[in-house]
């Protein structure tokens, strides 16, 4: 087996940072009324700015595949040409269409010759799963390099016109036409952007990061769906897919909007997260105090204190001073968040040889978690 190194990291954040006060101007108001949940959600998540692939005139500037292509192209220089890439592995929660796959669309924009492509589906962990496919390809010796990406373009999913038919339908039923909190909640959390890693079988570059190991855990066998799109959750917890509804119900129920079961999220996300973290580091004999930089992808700073306390409760406390996050500046970019976070740390000038970096990514879709331990070379 080969050793595997992250030798280059890039990110692409579209347009300019959007402040909290500009969000509804960009996404639109629903039924002409300001959201009642917006200020509550923003107060808890403490996100100050985020990025949208929407210009100041309301025009969409990039789709998801285009965002990803921009991030990948930032990896290229005199030492890496587009035709040098052997594997392209792209993860996202928000592909531009059901088919073709997200990686196929990114490859179509890159136009860089015949390569192997891979498109893991899922939510935030899809970016880590894309990285793991790339990692295993290089580690097995089948390829000398691979590019993995994480990206999201959720702004278009959150625009007010997505929910107009649902609100009109509620009005016709003489029900209060307020968007359900499980849909409104995510409108104030999510951001657009993309990140990319170049993985190689040699420690090239100025400060390569050796991938020591990667681990993943799912709790879908014991917990129902929590975050979902393309279906509706029934009272018994069953997720009924869009394809089983008549087409005239798709917009009336906003079936393609992302939704979050907030109660289920609060009950499980931290407990299962620390449970899986404990399994990962114990499996590899890593002590919490050996981790110099802990990069947790969390959707909201609301969870930060409770996550730390849960670590204390389960005996895997990582000291506060070793945590590194940038959620307040870039927002929750889903599958891209860990890429964008690591890019900022790698370019911060803080890293030194021998430092251990733990990447930690949860997804609430049906509660899955992914981890990677890196060593600075």
Better pLDDT: 47 or 252? 47
| H or E element at residue 151 | strand 145-152
Report residue 83 as tokens: 């035709």
Q: What is the mean pLDDT of residues 4-18?
A: 98
Q: Do 5-160+189-206 and 213-218+261-376 show the same overall fold?
A: yes
Q: 């709790």: which residue's tokens?
A: 219
In angstroms, the CA 162 to CA 178 distance is 14
Confidence band of 167 (pLDDT split at 50, 70, 90): low
Would the pLDDT of 175 be above 90? no
Give 311-359 pLDDT, tens digit per residue: 999 999 999 999 999 999 999 999 999 999 999 999 999 999 999 999 9
Q: What is the DSSP string of 308-364?
A: HHHHHHHT----GGGB---HHHH-B-GGGHHHHHHHHHHTTT---TT-EEEEEEEET
Of 54-68, 162-176, 346-360, the least confident: 162-176
Q: Over the chain, what is the mean pLDDT? A: 93
Domain borders along the chain are 5-160+189-206, 213-218+261-376
Which residues, 6 or more positions from 172, have their beta carbon under 8 angstroms from its beta carbon?
Answer: none
Give the single-character DSSP code of 80: B
Would the pLDDT of 11 be above 90? yes
Q: What is the CATH topology of the domain spanning 213-218+261-376?
A: Peroxisomal Thiolase; Chain A, domain 1 (3.40.47)
Backbone torsions φ then ψ of 54, nearest 5 degrees: -135, 130
Which residues, 6 or more positions from 143, have their beta carbon under 8 angstroms from its beta carbon?
Answer: 86, 87, 116, 137
Give 195-240 pLDDT, tens digit per residue: 999 999 999 999 999 999 999 999 999 999 999 999 999 999 999 9
Better pLDDT: 46 or 39? 46
199, β-bridge pairs: 6, 146
Q: 């079961």: which residue's tokens?
A: 261
Give 81-124 pLDDT, tens digit per residue: 999 999 999 999 999 999 999 999 999 999 999 999 999 999 99
Domain 5-160+189-206 listed as CATH 3.40.47.10: yes
Global pTM reads 0.94
Instruction: Check residue 180 and give its pLDDT.
Output: 59
Q: What is the mean pLDDT of residues 57-75?
A: 97
Instruction: Check residue 40 and give its pLDDT.
Output: 87
């Amino acid at each position: 087996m080969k050793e595997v190194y992250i030798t280059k990291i890039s990110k692409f954040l579209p347009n300019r940072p959007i402040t909290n006060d500009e969000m509804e101007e960009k996404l639109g108001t629903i039924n002409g009324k300001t959201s009642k949940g917006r200020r509550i959600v923003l107060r808890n998540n403490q996100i100050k700015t985020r990025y949208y692939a929407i210009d100041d005139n309301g025009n969409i500037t990039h789709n998801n595949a285009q965002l990803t292509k921009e991030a990948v192209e930032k990896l290229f220089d005199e030492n890496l040409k587009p035709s040098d890439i052997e594997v392209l592995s792209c993860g996202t929660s928000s592909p531009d269409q059901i088919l073709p796959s997200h990686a196929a669309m990114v490859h179509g924009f890159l136009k860089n010759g015949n390569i192997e492509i891979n498109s893991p589906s899922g939510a935030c962990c899809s970016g880590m799963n894309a990285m793991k496919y790339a990692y295993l390809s290089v580690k097995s010796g089948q390829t000398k390099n691979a590019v993995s990406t994480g990206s999201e373009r959720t702004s278009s999913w959150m625009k007010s016109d997505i929910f107009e038919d649902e609100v009109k339908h509620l009005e016709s039923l003489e029900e209060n036409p307020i968007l359900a909190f499980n849909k409104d909640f995510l409108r104030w959390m999510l951001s657009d952007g993309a990140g990319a890693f170049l993985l190689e079988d040699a420690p090239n570059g100025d400060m390569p990061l050796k991938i020591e190991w990667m681990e993943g855990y799912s709790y879908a066998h014991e917990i129902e769906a929590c975050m979902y799109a393309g279906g509706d959750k029934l009272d018994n917890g069953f997720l009924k897919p869009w394809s089983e509804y008549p087409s005239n119900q798709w917009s009336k129920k906003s079936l393609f909007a992302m939704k979050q079961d907030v109660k289920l999220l609060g009950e499980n996300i931290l407990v299962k997260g620390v449970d899986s973290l404990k399994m990962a580091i114990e499996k590899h004999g890593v002590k919490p105090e050996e981790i110099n930089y802990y990069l947790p992808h969390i959707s909201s700073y609301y969870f930060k204190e409770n996550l730390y306390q849960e670590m204390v409760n389960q005996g895997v406390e990582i000291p506060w001073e070793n945590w590194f996050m940038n959620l307040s500046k870039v927002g929750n970019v889903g599958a891209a968040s860990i890429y964008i976070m690591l890019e900022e740390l790698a370019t911060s000038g803080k890293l030194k040889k021998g430092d251990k970096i733990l990447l930690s990514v949860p997804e609430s879709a049906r509660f899955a978690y992914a981890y990677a331990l890196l060593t600075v070379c």
